[in-house]
Amino acid sequence: MIKPLVPFLFILLASLSAADVDPSLAHASVWTEIWPDAEGKAQTRKVQGKIWNNAIQTALDKDNAVHLPKRDQPYYLDGPIVLRSGQKLTADSDAEIRLKPGTNTCMVRNEHIVGFADQPVPEDTKPDTGITIEGGIWTTLANGVKDSNGNHRGASSKKDPVPGTHGVILLHNVRHVTVRNITVRQSRAFAVHLANVSDFTVDGVTLDRHGRDGVHVNAPASHGLIRRVSGVSHDDTVALNAWEWKNYAPSFGAIHHIVIEDVHGSPDGIPSANSIRMLPGVKRFSDGTTLDCPIHDITVRNITDIQDFKLYDQPNLEVGRDNDASAGIGTLRALVFENLTFNRPGSIQIHANTDGLTIRDVKLNFPFTADYHLIELGPKSQTYKHKSDDPATWTEIFSPDLDCTVRSLIVSGVRLREAATDLTLEQVVHIIELTPNPDYPKTTPKGGSGKGIWIR
């Protein structure tokens, strides 16, 4: 169960009268942006606009709340708007807020962001509380697969950013926070990046040709609700990463007591990742000490057109798997997946030590084949070739030599379209037992020696 949020705090926030932004405090500026032309070729164009950071911050300082009405022109930012405890930023649903090219930061964040990249998070980090962000179309102007208009990273600040920060909306070291009814368009950072967070709500996120994760949660995190997330994203729609690649995590620990509901992938024919990830593990700090990073007491329900549920180990390919990998297979406990709809083939892939996994009420609305299984238990192997024909440069994406054990797996109500009876466990569950590929690198993947162990 999710702990109730502090009611007095939200009554207080609701009573705040949002200040108007004073256009005279926005300063004029000139810059260039790169946009594709009708043929998709990059074209540079000159932009004359206004930068609104000072106007917005002044309104927040005055009334602790600010509202951005729709304008004919976007609100441009040249750095993050910083929200203190008890402050509220709202915008009309069609008010567009853009990050000026080359800024390379988040767009809005809380005040006291602190990172613990090399130690467990202390008990008292003096978090910010009672922050609300609602409405608006937020974009960092990443208008193509390769072109980010110089906004490659969602860092906490231009100078000395907290390591691992990477969000359009960045809320780290916070309690009792709400993000509601936003659209994130063509951005390269995580749409909403949360960490060291409890008692939070993310309700209503539309991803519009988005380049990275939608709602991305790093540990420690607890007692949260993530709901109504949809659209097109080229990475995970929702991610709960207790262990994490070190270049994307400000802190590590446990993630627990989270509800994820009403998440929708993209329609057929529109390329999108359509995935939900949970990444447990064991963090090894530079002094050799370790920290268990489990994920437990999670409910995932009312999900449509998410094809991949990624509950597997995955070392860091960006800095090299030998430089950043979990110090052991992670732990999952007390997970519930219910009311899932697959309008095309998809799977729940588990490579973690798991104790308590319930999967119920699943509709498979696509042609069923004998080799299809909804649930896959065990390690994966896949070769990443770095776009090279030289096998010496190839690397393994996953952890194919590590076993995992799954206990207390309960499956019910997995049915084909309009079927009157459930599929059998043998039709639903596949146990993976890898073997080395003797023909590697002539054929891939390399394979491995790991296996899934199902204690029934």
Token look-up 């074209």 returns 43
Asked whether residue 187 is domain-assigned, the answer is yes
Residues of the chain with pLDDT under 50: 1-16
415: nearest Cα among 430, 433, 428: 428
Asked whether residue 379 is domain-assigned, the answer is yes
Q: What is the pLDDT of residue 142?
A: 94
Q: Measured between alpha carbons, how far is residue 217 from residues 67, 196, 236, 436 in Å?
A: 27, 9, 11, 35
Q: Do you know the residue count of the chain?
A: 456
Q: In the chain, how many domains are there?
A: 1
Q: Give the pair of three-digit tokens for residue 207.
A: 């991803």
Asked whether residue 1 is domain-assigned, the answer is no
- The 8-class DSSP code of residue 38 comes to T
Task: Say which residues have a Cβ less than 8 Å from residue 177's Cβ, sequence separation at least 6.
Answer: 110, 128, 129, 130, 131, 132, 171, 194, 197, 199, 200, 201
Rounded CA separation 447/398 (Å): 10
Asked whether residue 134 is domain-assigned, the answer is yes
Q: Give the pair of three-digit tokens for residue 150.
A: 């110089």
Helices (H) and strands (E) in the chain — how many of each? 3, 31
| 384-396 pLDDT per residue, tens | 998 788 999 999 9
Q: What is the pLDDT of residue 144?
A: 74
Q: What is the pLDDT of residue 21?
A: 92
Rounded CA separation 185/266 (Å): 15
- The 8-class DSSP code of residue 267 comes to P
Q: Which helix (H) or strand (E) holds 334?
A: strand 331-342
Asked whether residue 2 is domain-assigned, the answer is no
CATH number for position 250? 2.160.20
Q: What is the pLDDT of residue 145?
A: 65
Asked whether residue 385 is domain-assigned, the answer is yes
Q: What is the pLDDT of residue 14?
A: 38
Rounded CA separation 223/254 (Å): 12
Rounded CA separation 49/60 (Å): 22
Q: Measured between alpha carbons, how far is residue 33 from residues 42, 96, 199 in Å?
A: 10, 16, 39
**164 backbone φψ class: left, alpha, beta (φ>0; ψ -120 to 50):** left
Structural domain boundaries, residue 393: 7-455
Q: Is 49 exposed, middle or buried (0-12, 13-18, 19+ CB in 10 A)?
A: middle
> What φ, ψ does residue 216 adopt, rounded to 5°?
-120, 120
| 344-360 pLDDT per residue, tens | 999 999 999 999 999 99
Residue 330 contacts residue 283 (beta carbons within 8 Å): no
Asked whether residue 39 is domain-assigned, the answer is yes
Cα 205 from chain centroid?
12
Q: What is the pLDDT of residue 118?
A: 95
